[in-house]
Amino acid sequence: MRSVRARAALGATVVVALALGAAGLAVLLVLRANLTDQAGLQAEVAAREVAGQLALGVPYAELDTGDEEEHPVQVTDEDGRVVAVSKDLEAISGTGTDRVAPAGAATDTDDDRDDDDPGRGEVSTDEPDFGNGTATVDGDRADYRFAAVEVTDPAGRTLTVHAGAPLAAEQRAVDSVRSAMLAGLPVVLLVVAGVTWLVTRRALRPVEGIRREMAAITASEDLARRVPEPGSRDEVARLARTTNETLAALEESVGRQRRFVADASHELRSPIASLRTQLEVGAAHPELLDVPGAVADTVRLQALAADLLLLARLDAGERAGLSRLDLGALVREEVSQRVGDRVPVAVSVKGGVRDGGLDVAGSRARLARVLGNLLDNAQRHAVRSVSVTVVRDADEVVVAVTDDGFGVPDAERERVFERFVRLDEARARDDGGAGLGLAIARDVATHHGGTLTVSGTRFELRLPALQDAGAPPPHPRSSIAGGAQNSPCGD
């Protein structure tokens, strides 16, 4: 079945059928047990009445067994011989013996017992034995519940009185209830299936609206559209809200990707056009070829292509090889290798093994790239000084790069990390950067489970610190955990 409504209706019908079947069976069993117990009580009363007569010494032939058809009676002695039966009893089963004629030896002793034992016997007060059987009285055979009561007659002999109560009423009641259940069950199941179908159809109506709208969005590729949100607070409403949130995020992602492609095309156009112009001029007039300018444009184009490739890898969640790094040592090494900086860089590393260490888990090449981008940004905007500090702060290692420039305005703290964004008013004019350095730095920090923020002229990189100096680096909270080794391009 492809329809959810059909599956729900069928499932509900099956569950209700099983539940009603189990409940009906339990009712029938309880009803039969109660009626059987009532029949047993009636049989016990009849047996004790006859036992009382035997205890008083009433001769077997003069026993009053009541209505023989309602309560057939059979009396046996301690040897299992029949000594008395109710009138018109033709056959019996379920009492231990199927004989219905008194044994001769037993009847021969009746006169002796009546003459010599004028006292009285005793009826047993123990719980009687019960059992089901059949009896034929005056040609009519029926099922009975038999009770067996022991009695001691005045002569001291132990007798057992078997008296029965008919089970016809119990059987009729059980059959009537069973018939009523079997007749009503299909009607109940039809009602359950119909109600479930209608309720499920009504509940799934918003889902169908969501499906149609999603199909329309897919066909039109218009991510600005949204699915209808029902006014209820149920799971369907939450599904609609989540779907709209996903569409909004997808629209923003696609828009960002389109802006990225447009900006990248714009940034690539300038060095390519300049390089082409110089090459065309050089082809026509070799003496006018500006080789240094062509090389500079080629280097700029290569650097921009590398940045774009790295961003594409980060967006794709490419994994980088991890190792245990001493961030303080990495900062000292990278700063010492920088030549030609306009402003000198002061390095301060605070923290060691005693303070918890400055080790982090990450890609050396990518973290060095982050530090280089932050120092390049500081060099472009500094006036006289640039400083780098590395400290341990609780469970994090903090790298702060500070310059003495004008700083980033509070309103631009997040925008400065967007791709191809260059601030013209708040800081000195960017001298040729494409506006990708800080965006790359934040993406790398995020992929390492850390953060990169700015406050004025201070850029602060925070990475999770490794606790145990002898343990291998754990997987960070990002998609770079344990994967391919660094590739030589862009890392």
Predicted local confidence at residue 468, as pLDDT:
62
Q: What's 235-315's CATH class?
A: mainly alpha
Predicted local confidence at residue 312, as pLDDT:
76
Residue 116 has pLDDT above 60, yes or no: no
**CB-CB neighbours of 274 under 10 Å:** 18
| Beta-strand pair 386-393/345-350 | parallel
Residue 453 has pLDDT above 90, yes or no: yes
Predicted local confidence at residue 231, as pLDDT:
79
Provide the percentage of residues in the chain whose pLDDT is more than 70.
Answer: 87
How high does pLDDT run on average in the chain?
82
CA 445 to each of CA 140, 250, 314: distance values in angstroms, whole numbers, following the listed order: 98, 23, 11
Residues 417 and 439: beta-carbon distance below 8 Å: yes
Residue 169 has pLDDT above 90, yes or no: no
Domain boundaries of the chain, sorted by first residue: 4-173, 235-315, 323-464
Q: Per-residue pLDDT tens for 219-240? A: 888 888 888 888 777 788 888 8
Which single residue is written with the structure tokens 């990248």? 264
Predicted local confidence at residue 339, as pLDDT:
84
Amino acid at site 107? T
Q: How many CA atoms lie within 13 A of 210 on its CB side?
A: 17
**CB-CB neighbours of 133 under 10 Å:** 18
Q: Per-residue pLDDT tens for 12-31? A: 889 999 998 899 899 999 99
**Structure token pair of residue 234:** 């149920």
Q: How confident is the model at residue 262 (pLDDT cuts 50, 70, 90)?
A: confident
Model pTM?
0.51
Q: Euclidean distance between the first and final Cα of the chain, in Å?
A: 53
Provide the percentage of residues in the chain whose pLDDT is more than 90.
Answer: 25
Q: Per-residue pLDDT tens for 395-404? A: 899 999 999 9
Predicted local confidence at residue 38, as pLDDT:
92
Q: What is the per-residue DSSP string for 412-478?
A: GTTGGGSTT---SSSSSPPSS--S-HHHHHHHHHHHTT-EEEEEBTEEEEEEEBPS-TTSPPPP-SS
Residue 489 has pLDDT above 50, yes or no: no
The strand ranges marked E within 19-139 are 73-77, 82-85, 89-93, 122-123, 129-137
Short-list 106, 100, 99, 98, CA closest to 85: 100
Q: Helix or strand or coil: residue 132? A: strand
Residues 141 and 168: beta-carbon distance below 8 Å: no
Short-list 433, 429, 425, CA closest to 376: 433
Residues 120 and 55: beta-carbon distance below 8 Å: yes
- Nearest-angstrom CA–CA distance, 139 and 168: 16
Predicted local confidence at residue 268, as pLDDT:
75
Q: Per-residue pLDDT tens for 61-95? A: 888 888 777 889 999 998 889 999 988 888 999 88
Q: What are phi and psi of 451, to 5 degrees?
A: -140, 155
Task: Give the torsion through C-alpha atoms of 28, 31, 33, 36, to 10 deg.
Answer: -120
Residue 356, by phi and psi: left (phi above 0), alpha (psi -120 to 50) or beta?
Answer: left
Instruction: Report which secondary-structure segment, H or E, holds 302.
Output: helix 291-315
Sign of the four-CA dihedral 280, 281, 287, 291: negative
Q: What are phi and psi of 356, to 5 degrees?
A: 110, -10
Predicted local confidence at residue 433, as pLDDT:
62
Predicted local confidence at residue 139, as pLDDT:
85
CA 203 to each of CA 234, 235, 332: distance values in angstroms, whole numbers, following the listed order: 10, 10, 64
Q: How confident is the model at residue 470 (pLDDT cuts 50, 70, 90)?
A: low
Q: How many CA atoms lie within 13 A of 12 on its CB side?
A: 19
Short-list 158, 159, 143, 150, CA closest to 129: 150
Q: Per-residue pLDDT tens for 394-442? A: 889 999 999 998 888 888 888 888 877 776 543 433 455 677 888 889 9
Predicted local confidence at residue 1, as pLDDT:
58
Q: Per-residue pLDDT tens for 183-224? A: 988 999 899 888 988 888 888 888 888 888 888 888 888 888
The arithmetic mean of pLDDT across residues 274-285, rounded, is 80
Angle between helices 364-381 and 327-336 (to 10 degrees): 50
More confident residue, 482 or 142: 142
- Nearest-angstrom CA–CA distance, 345 and 114: 134
Rg from Cα positions in the chain: 50
Predicted local confidence at residue 482, as pLDDT:
34
Predicted local confidence at residue 162, as pLDDT:
93
What count of residues does the chain have?
A: 491
- Nearest-angstrom CA–CA distance, 151 and 154: 10
The arithmetic mean of pLDDT across residues 18-46, rounded, is 91
Residue 449 has pLDDT above 50, yes or no: yes
60 secondary structure, DSSP code: G
Any idea which fold 323-464 has? Answer: Heat Shock Protein 90 (3.30.565)
Predicted local confidence at residue 280, as pLDDT:
82
- Nearest-angstrom CA–CA distance, 437 and 447: 16
Instruction: Report which secondary-structure segment, H or E, holds 387.
Output: strand 386-393
Residues 11 and 118: beta-carbon distance below 8 Å: no
Angle between helices 168-220 and 4-55 (to 10 degrees): 170
More confident residue, 284 or 364: 364
36 secondary structure, DSSP code: H
Residue 481 has pLDDT above 50, yes or no: no
**Structure token pair of residue 438:** 């800080």
